[in-house]
Chains A and B, each alone.
Chain A
Amino acid sequence: MALIASATPTTGTVTFNSIPGVYGALLLLGLGRISPATTGDYVYGQFNNDAGSNYDEWRLVGATGGTAYAQTRARLAEWPGASAPSSAAGSLQMYIPGYATTTLHKTMTMQASARVNTSDLQVRHHAINWRSANAISRIDLTLASGNFVTGTVFYLYGLP
């Protein structure tokens, strides 16, 4: 496993661009917190700057599931905001096999955890589908409002 890049953003979006297509899979790891005055809010993802209705989601949050199809972005984690307990953080890890292939659409899994309230530790499991056969060369991680705060880190790894 090789570290491709890392980021410590304090902006509302972090972009991994020009991802080399030489690996078998990507592993994206993150730990962070966000600035909006809320207990928690979503971190969204897009590939190759594609804002079309090409993202599908199957989620399991705690013991409850749900679906969302043909979305304009993939919903990933819910991370704690300014109203969450002090220093509470959220994490995410996303595994993207075959990201550099150009025949089939990309489907992947994402797991996340977060402590958004004193007695609310969440776990999420998402299946994410991107309706594109293009190789993934760019990943954007974005908030709908506010910024990632100091201490937030993302790591993008390439797996053989």
Chain B
Amino acid sequence: MSERTEIDCGTGVARTVPLTPEEIAQRTAWGAGRAAERDADAISTTERSAARARVVQVAQGTVGVHLDRLTATQVRALLAVLLWEAGALNGDGTVRSPAQWIRD
């Protein structure tokens, strides 16, 4: 962490040099902001599997039901499917921040 491998592309020579105090401070700042960065990142495959299973479970009850006969609960279940497809759900079924899934 305290050193840097530097390759001079002109000569091909590689050397290990110590990080400057500015570089160390910069990396420390990156580490401090990493939790928020990760939170804003996409959910993991494991979480996606959990969220998908939950959505499938709630939507299963709408199979075979005519549109005119959908209950409020079943409409909510189908909305969950659309939210899932849009990447709007966390692994625990909660809705993610719009900034994390609404495309520019």
Contact with A along B32-57 (1 / 0, CB 8 A): 00100100111111101100000000
User: Chain A, interface size: which category?
Assistant: 35 or more
Contact with A along B60-88 (1 / 0, CB 8 A): 00000000000000000000000000010
Min CB–CB distance B30 → chain A (angstroms): 4
A117 contacts B46, CB within 8 Å?
A: yes
Q: What's the Cα separation between A65 and B42 when bound, in Å?
A: 7
Min CB–CB distance B29 → chain A (angstroms): 8
Q: What's the Cα separation between A75 and B36 when bound, in Å?
A: 13
If A5-B9, A143-B1 touch, does A64 touch B101 (CB 8 Å cutoff)?
yes
Residues in chain B within 8 A of chain A (CB atoms): 1-12, 14, 16, 19, 22-23, 26-27, 29-31, 34, 37, 40-46, 48-49, 87, 99-101, 103-104
Q: Which residue on B lies nearest to A140, using beta carbons?
A: B4
A66 contacts B8, CB within 8 Å?
A: no
Contact of A7 among B5, B11, B22, B42 (CB under 8 A): B5
Chain A interface, DSSP helix/strand/loop, else mixed:
strand
Q: What's the Cα separation between A142 and B3 when bound, in Å?
A: 11
Contact with B along A9-37 (1 / 0, CB 8 A): 11111111111100000000000000000
B99 contacts A66, CB within 8 Å?
A: yes
Q: What's the Cα separation between A4 and B100 when bound, in Å?
A: 37
* Known A20-B10, A146-B1; 6 more pairs at CB < 8 Å: A7-B5, A13-B19, A15-B5, A15-B6, A16-B9, A142-B30
